[in-house]
Structure 1
Amino acid sequence: MGEQLLRIGTTYLPVTNVDISSDWYVNKLGAELCFKDQDKAILNFANQSIFLVKSNENQSSNFYDIYGNERFSITFEVNGLKALEVIHKELQQSEIRVGYIEDRGHSGRNFVFYDLDGNKFDVWSELSPSFREKYLISNG
């Protein structure tokens, strides 16, 4: 291949109600609403474009691995364990469904949370080195 894929620009998430879900992402997670119509909302969130797409009920971006464990398709990164703990507490205080902070046997710690439609997300306490270098972020 002569060229490389450089970044993930957009992630699509199924939601049952575009209005309610876009308000939730803006008010609970601090996303910026860029566009909204009856079928979709476009958010600027976590250095990425997120499309909330109107879908049928009981759909999510989650999947099950070969052992039957429900998995997430997105991991957000934060700058260190302290930031992870603060965000974990803030999400809980915002009455968002949040899992426990876990040690998964690799560097850093993680927890999961869910949106209104059950889309499951992971949060990791480690920023990727290339992101840290590009944006001149010191260790948290």
Structure 2
Amino acid sequence: MSTIENKIGTVFLPVSNIEESRDWYCRLLGIQRKGDIQFGHLYVIELEGVNLVLDQKIFQKTGPLQAPIFHLNAVDIEKAYNELRESNVEVTTTIQHGHWFNFKDPDGNEIMVCQC
């Protein structure tokens, strides 16, 4: 038996500007900012399930993510798609198979939205 649990606790996302990214993701997700920027380069966004940690320190080492390493859930994929396009977010795919699409955050990280 392993002492490592079979669940993901958080996902780290490289960002170039921690303050701007914090504000952008909070607006995107419709949540209030909670807590402070930690150690000058980390901001934890508490989500249902897995947390998202924005990390300015790792941005220059890795650059933007070219493929999504996580997806955000949406109840209505068409509404989510239209909201992002109307908000001038760079949407990089059309809705695929009526189920998902990708977009880029301000740093060029590729993020997926999936209808749950």
- Coordinate RMSD, CA, aligned: 2.3
Residue 47 of structure 2 aligns with an amino acid whose one-letter code is F
Aligned to 2:104: 114
Distance 1:109 1:53 in 2: 29
Structure 1: 5+ residue stretches without partners: 63-70, 128-140
Question: What is the TM-score with the length of structure 2 in the denominator?
Answer: 0.80
The 3-state SS of whatever aligns with 2:90 is: coil
Q: Write out aligned runs for 1:54-133 (5 A).
A: 54=56, 55-56=59-60, 59-62=63-66, 71-79=67-75, 83-98=76-91, 99-103=93-97, 108-125=98-115, 127=116
Question: Any idea what the Cα deviations from partners look like across 1:65-99, whole Å, max 9, x if unmatched?
Answer: xxxxxx211122323xxx11111111111111113
**91-100 vs 3-12, which moves further:** 3-12
SS of match in other structure, 1:45: coil
TM-score normalised by the chain length of structure 1: 0.68
Contact in 1 for aligned 2:11/2:51 (Cα 8 Å): yes
State which drifts further: 93-102 or 42-51. Answer: 42-51
In the alignment of these two chains, the number of paired residues is 111
CA distance in 2, matches of 1:50, 1:12: 6
User: Does the alignment pair 1:33 with 2:33?
Assistant: yes
Query: What does residue 12 of structure 1 align with?
Result: 12
Distance, in Å, in 2 between the alignment partners of 1:13 and 1:42 is 10
Structure 2: runs of 5 or more not aligned: none
| Structure with more contact order per residue of length (Cα contacts < 8 Å, sep ≥ 6) | 2
Q: Which has the larger radius of gyration?
A: 1
1:137 aligned partner: none
Distance 2:64 2:33 in 1: 21
